[in-house]
Every structure is written in C-alpha cells, then in structure tokens.
Amino acid sequence: MEAPAQFLDQLDAAIDKRRKWLETEQIPRLRDALASYEQMFEGAVGMLIRKGLLREDPYNYEQVFNDITIPKDEVLPEFENTDELSYRLAAFRRQLKYASTELPLDLPKLNLARLKKLSSLVSYINWLELGESSRSPTTKAFARAFMRVRMSADTMSAQILKDAETQILKTIYQINGLLADLIVFCRESWKADVRRVVLPAAAPVSQDGHSRREEMVRAIRRGFALKMAGRPWYPSLAEELADEELASDGEERRAKVLASMVIAAPVKPVVVEAPDNRSVLLEAVRLLCRPSEDLATAIAVLEENERIIIEARSVKVGWLRRLFGVVPAKKPEDRIYKVEYTDPGDPAPKTEMIDFPKFAAEVQKKSSLLAALGTGSGPTYKRLASTSEEQLAGFVDRQLNELLLLHRRLGSLNTLLQAKVMKEKKTARGIKIELLTIKNALVKANQRRHDFKDKKAG
C-alpha cells in the first residue's frame, strides 16, 4: 500500500523547511530560555537561602549527567522538611544547569521521550499553581518559603521575588511553546519515515471499516520491526497514521498535518526598529540589563556585612567612651578598603583602594540605569535605540567595561568583608549567586558584541 505520493512530497518539503527553522531559530532560543530560567531560579533560591528559609546543599558538587533526571516529588517528611526541600531543589538546580548548558539539543539527538523529560523538568516547580492548592508536594513546600518573602514587610526582597516570578512565568510559556514546535516536528518526522520506509512494503488490507484500520496498524508494526529496528515505536502515532490513510476524513486529517507544519510568521515586537546590525547591539543591551536587580541585592548584602563590622568595632571601643568620656572620631578613611584582585592571564595579585560609599552609589546608579533600559519600551530605551550604530556600539562597549569593573570590585569586597565578619565570629552573607548572574550576562553580551563586529567586518 502506498501513501499518496503528492502528500508525502508536500510533507517532506514541510519537514525540511521546519528542520532548518528549528535548527537556526527555535533551538538557540530554547537554549537561551532554559539558561534564563536557570539563572532566575538560582536568584530566587539564593534569596531564600540568605533569608534562612532554605539551606545550601553541602554536596552540591559538579556531577556528570548523560540525560535528564527528574528529582523526586513525593510527600515531604514531617521532620527535617526544610532539609529535604533544599536537597530536592539543589538536585533540580543541577538538572536545570545541565539542560541549559550540556544537554544535546540538536535535532538528530532529540526524540519524543527526551522532549517529554525536558517538559517535565521545566514544570517540576509548577509556577502556575504556586500555592497550597498545588498537587506537587515539592511545589507546595517551595511556595510556602517563597511566599513568606514575597508577602513580607521587606519590600525590596518582596519586589525582587515578584519580578522574578513574573519573568519566570513568561520564560516558561516561551519554553513550552518552543518544546511544542519540536514535538510537532518529531511526531510528523516519525510518521513520514514510516510512510516512506514501511508503507510501500506493507501488505494490502481488507476494505471493511474498522478491521481494515487494525490490519494496517499490525502491518505497520511488522514492517517497522523489520525495516526500522532500533527506532522508538509509538503505537498512538501508528494509529494516527492509519486514520490519516484510511478514515473517511483522511484527506482532511492530512491537510491538518500539513497545516501543523506551517511556520507561523513571527509577531513583530512593538519596539523601536533597529536597521542594519543594530538589533545585535540592542540584544547585547537587553542581556546587560538582566542583572540590574542582582547589582542592587549584591550591594545591599555588602552594606549589611559592613554594618556588622562597624557594630562589632564600636563594641570594642565602648570601654574607651566609658573610661575617658570621649567618643572616638569617625574617620572618612575607615570606609575605604584595600582589596586584592588578579587580572586574567596575570597571576600576580594586585591591590586597589575602594571608597565604599562612593562605590555603593555607583552600583545603585548602574542598577537603576539597567532597570530602566530593561523594560525594552520606556523613554530611556527608546532614546538609546534611536541613536546611531556607532553611538550604540560605544554605549555597549562602555557598559561592558563598567559592569566588568563593578563585578570585579564586588567580588573583591565580598571576599574582604566576609573575612572581616567571620573574624568577629559573626555570620556573613555572600553574593556568589549575584556575581554568577552578572558574569553570565557579561559573557553573553560580549558574545553579541563580537557577533556585531564579525558582521561589520563581513
């Protein structure tokens, strides 16, 4: 029995066109979306850890994965509830990192089973049902910790988590849409292969309705085992194929298959248009804007650590006040710190003096600028988007250099202040997650800058 030749030719052409579209556009977007989700979730969990609502997994070391593994989602134990939730979330975070950085997303290695695993991983925390009504025990427990901060009097932290939740929901919708595109391709590619390889050699079937359909499915299964051994077998897809060939509405079904493979025209975003290569530069700007909240959080943590040091120091000099009745004058240089750092490629340590109040103001200013640009539609962004290509390239270079310097100084101050706090036998908070988020944004924005220069050179 032969599939209609014209339909198979049309289907092959649609599959080939969709394959190129997925490889050049959708799969890179999926990789970026997974990376964005991983970074945003890291930021949210990092805040809950700093608030003492979760614990960092001490065994969160590097692991090698060959495929996605969904963490368990059983009812949490009554005792040590926080520990178990923290372990599950640490496992989930490792899997998200693997999916965004190492999981093979090229079409030859993708199949329906892997896509289903990836979909299950993304929905492990059900953000659409983030509350007590969630059917997922892990989501329910995570929601309790998340909402304690989200609804707390700490307005800054609450706003950060609110924004994170909004952005995560948008990203998950995007990921699900991209996965749906890949699933359609895998389903129809599998059926097209069966049509091409198995159907021509299958024995004719009888003409009496339902038994005819069942005979075709059995014939497909026998031919599949002989000619496509080693490929995954999908009974439901074999039945779909039989219906498309034999059902009274088979022609309509085949038309729907072709329609499902049509590549929808992209919705043009309502932003200022960028001619020539400026769209690459604007993408670099958007990437640089991602850590705006992380900058604000990082400097707030450093200011808190400095306050702990100052308070401990004031206790030590308290006896002088009581003994002599004088208050030691506060010197401006007390808030100027000497830090060490190393430049890439030069292992020799270097030092610099950082005026902390001035530096904190610079970080807050940079955070505000990036937040304003990050809207993608506000007056600040529109003014930037309307500048010339040379001005825009200069702006990106300047922001990269300034943000790289802030990242280095934040890391140096974090190391210094944490050591000083621990010397006072106090607990010091860190900014490891914020530094990682800023670094990732720098790396991706720098890549876009190189893309722009390559296009200009070409």
Indicate whether 227 and 308 sit together in one domain: no
235, part of any domain: yes
Asked if residue 423 and residue 288 are part of one domain, the reply reads yes
pLDDT of 275 reads: 47
d(Cα 275, Cα 279) in Å, to the nearest integer? 7
Best-predicted range by mean pLDDT among 42-51, 118-127, 194-203, 316-325? 118-127
Better-scored residue on pLDDT, 154 or 421: 421
Same domain flag for 182 and 73: yes
pLDDT higher than threshold 90 for residue 272: no
Q: For residue 64, what pLDDT band results from cuts at 50, 70 and 90? A: low
The answer to whether position 239 is within a domain reads yes
Domain assignment present for 377: yes
Q: Are residues 159 and 59 in the same domain?
A: yes
Domain membership of residue 118 (yes or no) is yes
On the 0-12 / 13-18 / 19+ scale of CB atoms within 10 A, 457 is exposed
State the pLDDT confidence band at 206, using cuts at 50, 70 and 90: low
Q: What is the pLDDT of residue 119?
A: 93
273 lies in a domain? no
How distant, in Å, are the alpha carbons of 94, 247, 357, 448 from that of 62?
Answer: 8, 53, 37, 28
Query: How does the average pLDDT of the chain come out, rounded?
Result: 83
Domain check: are 253 and 282 in the same one?
no
pLDDT at 324 over 70: no
Domain assignment of residue 265, yes or no? no
155 part of a folded domain: yes
Amino acid at 375: T
Give the pLDDT of residue 34: 92
pLDDT for 451: 83
Q: Which residue range forms the structural domain that includes residue 353?
A: 278-457
Residue 41, CA atoms < 13 Å, CB-side half-sphere: 29
Q: Are residues 64 and 149 in the same domain?
A: yes
Q: Is the pLDDT of residue 117 over 90?
A: yes
Are residues 91 and 122 located together in one domain of the fold? yes
Which pTM value belongs to this model?
0.58
pLDDT of residue 102: 86
**Number of domains within the chain:** 2
Give yes or no: residues 251 and 369 share one domain.
no
pLDDT at 312: 78
Judged against a pLDDT cut of 90, whether residue 133 lies above it is answered with no
Note the pLDDT of residue 201. 77
Biggest CA pair distance of the chain: 110
Same domain, 256 and 282: no
pLDDT in tens, 409-441: 999 999 999 898 888 888 888 898 889 889 888
Least confident among 38-42, 284-288, 331-335, 447-451: 331-335
Please tell me whether residues 242 and 303 are part of one structural domain: no
Closest CA to 10 of 331, 260, 181: 260
Residue 270 maps to a domain: no
Residues contacting 409, CB < 8 A, separation 6+: 339, 354, 359
Residues 254, 306 share a domain: no
Q: Are residues 154 and 222 in the same domain?
A: yes
